[in-house]
Structure 1
Amino acid sequence: MYDYPDGTAIALYAGLAIFWFIFAIAAYVLTSVFMMKIFEKAGVQGKWRAWVPIYNFMVFSKLGDLSPWLILIAIGASILLGWIPVLGSIIGIAAFVVTLLAAWRVGLKLQKEPVWLILYFFLSIVWLGILGFDKSRWNTAIPAAPWANNGFLSDRTVWAGIPSQAPAGGYPANPVTQPAPGAYPPPAGYEPPAGYT
């Protein structure tokens, strides 16, 4: 290790701290601006919602058909239990998975294919920017999420200024979890074994 004079090491640490502070502020401002544009597309009232640090991800998860309280629980648990080596990492990963699920649903509502999650996984700020500023329109009439009827993941929270994400008349049936009767006819010439009808 290099042996710096006392003032040089302090100046290096101060310069590095200032750089990371400016980088964090810039990332926060960009994320808030991009979320604000997505919230506008979704019909969320109040641009201020995108600028409140934890609340903006709660609104984002609500738009993604997830309970917004999952984000709050995940962040709180990571703050309280983050110091425990393995458990802290698992909770951090769980929080990211929740935002990934919300991003998948928000992307579907903005006409993006699920493959776009790869971009969110590696560069979420770029993903937010693209969805915020492209020409896509918000569409809630997509099939229900697999967890739509599950009490733990499903969103039943009602907040003033944030529109309900369930379309009028309810969600269309999800073809994966609720295929239509006769949707999968047997192949031509198929004879079921004796005893099966």
Structure 2
Amino acid sequence: MKKAFAHQRSEGRVCGICMEVVLAKPVRSDRRFGILSNCDHCFCLACIRKWRSSAHSTKRIIRACPLCRAISYIVIPSEVWLSEKSEKDELLESYKGNLSAKPCKYFDEGRGTCPFSDSCLYRHAFPDGTLSKATPRLTYNSDGLTKPVGTTTLWDFLEEREERVWTAPEPSEGYWDDDDNHEEGSLCGGGATN
């Protein structure tokens, strides 16, 4: 009965990005909602995931609702629309429970290292089934003392990876070392003289 009411509430709900009725989308797999934990705006899962994967925006914008800018760290896929906080909390716990049963591809049964440490929602287990204990990541400061590294979230990781894209400067910018031509300005830096 509860599920029937939830489905009825979902009818006619329009995605705030594509402006289509979510449950009326032509492709069945597209008829899912992307629930944000900290706002009540309606989005289809595909649209909100696309919004959050935008490489041209900052972390704060990506994590924010496109309409009200409320920050939500996780998008929860759902077959029905939920707006009540208690329903969202229940769905979030269920979603986290489902993810924690799946093995983390970065941890790889102890053969790898997960960049998300204790903030990862996936299972960190060794081949014998024992769970890994979350160990704080440490770094050395300028005084040689260790200090904990702040937790890394998936969005931090993706944003850092996108920022590493490097484009080569144009030869006219003076950064090329041309061994065949040793005229003034041809060496790295552009200002070498004899």
Relative contact order, higher structure (CA 8 A, sep 6+) = 1
Q: TM-score, normalised by structure 1?
A: 0.25
| Greater fraction of residues in helix | 1
Q: Return the TM-score normalized by structure 2.
A: 0.25
Structure with greater proportional strand content: 2
Higher Rg: 2
